[in-house]
Chain A
Amino acid sequence: MNDTAIVTDSVKRFKWVGTRPIRPDGIPKVTGRAQYGADLKLPGMIYGKVLRSPHAHARILSIDTSAAEKLPGVKAVMTAADLPQQKFDYIGPERVAVNFWHVTRNIMAREKALYEGHAIAAVAAISNSIAEQACALIKVEYEVLPHVIDVDEAMAPDAPLLFEDMITRGVEPVPTKPSNISKRLAFAMGDVDAGFAASDLVIEHAFKTAAVHQAYIEPHACVAKFEADGQCEIWSSSQGHFQMRALTAQIMGKALGDLRVIPAEIGGGFGGKTVTYLEPLAATLSKKSGLPVRLTMSREEVFRASGPTSGSSMWVKVGVKNDGTIVAVDGIFKFQAGAFPGSPVMNGCLCAYAPYDIPNQRAVGWDVVSNRPKAAAYRAPGSPISAFAVESVLDMCAKKLGIDPLALRLKNACRIGTPTLAGPKHAHAGYIETLEALQKHPAYAVKLGPNQGRGVASGYWFNGGGESSATLQINADGTILIATGSPDIGGSRASMAIMTAETLGVDYNQVRAIVADTASVGYTHVTGGSRVTFATGTAVVNATKTAIKILCERAAMIWGVDPEGVIWDDGYAKPAGSNVGDFKPLSLKEIAGKAAATGGPITTSAGVNAGGQAPGFATQFCDVEVDPETGKVTILRFVAAQDVGRAIHPSYVEGQIHGGIVQGIGWALSEEYIYNAKGLLDNAGFLDYRCPVSSDLPMLDAVLVEVPNPTHPYGAKGVGEVCICPPMAAIANAIENATGKRLVDLPMSPPKVLAALSA
Chain B
Amino acid sequence: MEPARVVFTSGFAARYTKGVREFAVQAKTMRDVIGAMDAMFPGLGFHLEEETTLAINGEYHETGLFQPVPPGAEVFFIPRIEGG
Contact = CB atoms under 8 A, between A and B. Distances in A.
Contacts of B59: 427, 611-612, 711
Contacts of B64: 609, 611
Contact of B83 (A98, A170, A187, A423): A98
A102 interface: yes
Given A95-B53, A423-B9, A423-B76, A103 B84 contact: yes
Nearest to B9: A423
Interface in A98-126: 98-99, 102-103, 106
A407 interface: no
B81 A95 contact: yes
Nearest to B75: A424
Interface stretch (A322-330, A339-347, A678-686): A339-347
Contact of B58 (A90, A340, A426): A426
A424 B78 contact: yes
**Interface size for chain B: under 10, 10 to 19, 20 to 34, or 35 or more residues?**
20 to 34
A687 interface: no
Interface string A709-720: 001000000000
Interface in A418-433: 422-428
Contacts of B60: 424, 462, 465, 611-613
Given A170-B11, A462-B60, A424 B74 contact: yes
A147 interface: no
Interface string A77-97: 000000000000011101111
B66 to A, nearest CB: 7
Consensus secondary structure, chain A interface = loop
Contacts of B54: 611
B58 A97 contact: no
B82 A90 contact: yes
User: Which of A99, A462, A466, A611 has most B Cβ within 10 Å?
Assistant: A611
B29 to A, nearest CB: 13
**Interface size for chain A: under 10, 10 to 19, 20 to 34, or 35 or more residues?**
35 or more
A374 interface: yes
A428 B55 CA distance: 12
Contacts of A465: 60-62
A91 B78 CA distance: 15
B84 A98 contact: yes
A423 B78 contact: yes
A465 B53 CA distance: 11
Given A612-B59, A612-B61, A102 B76 contact: no
Contacts of A611: 54, 56, 59-62, 64, 67
Nearest to B77: A423
Nearest to B30: A611
B64 to A, nearest CB: 6
A102 B84 contact: yes
Contacts of B7: 423
B80 A97 contact: yes
B2 interface: no
Contacts of A462: 60
Contacts of A426: 58
Nearest to B67: A611
Interface in B11-63: 11, 50-51, 53-62
Contact of B82 (A96, A417, A422, A428): A96
A344 B84 contact: no
Given A106-B84, A376-B84, A609-B66, 14 more contacts: A96-B80, A97-B82, A97-B83, A98-B84, A99-B84, A340-B84, A342-B82, A367-B82, A423-B9, A423-B78, A424-B76, A465-B60, A609-B61, A611-B61
7 pairs of A and B residues whose beta carbons are closest in the complex: A611-B61, A427-B58, A424-B55, A342-B84, A96-B83, A612-B59, A424-B76
20 contacts: A90-B82, A94-B80, A95-B53, A97-B80, A106-B84, A186-B11, A275-B84, A423-B7, A425-B57, A427-B55, A428-B58, A465-B60, A466-B62, A609-B61, A609-B62, A609-B64, A611-B62, A611-B67, A612-B59, A612-B61
Interface of A: 90-92, 94-99, 102-103, 106, 170, 183, 186-187, 275, 340-342, 344, 346-347, 367, 374-377, 416-417, 422-428, 462, 465-467, 609, 611-613, 711
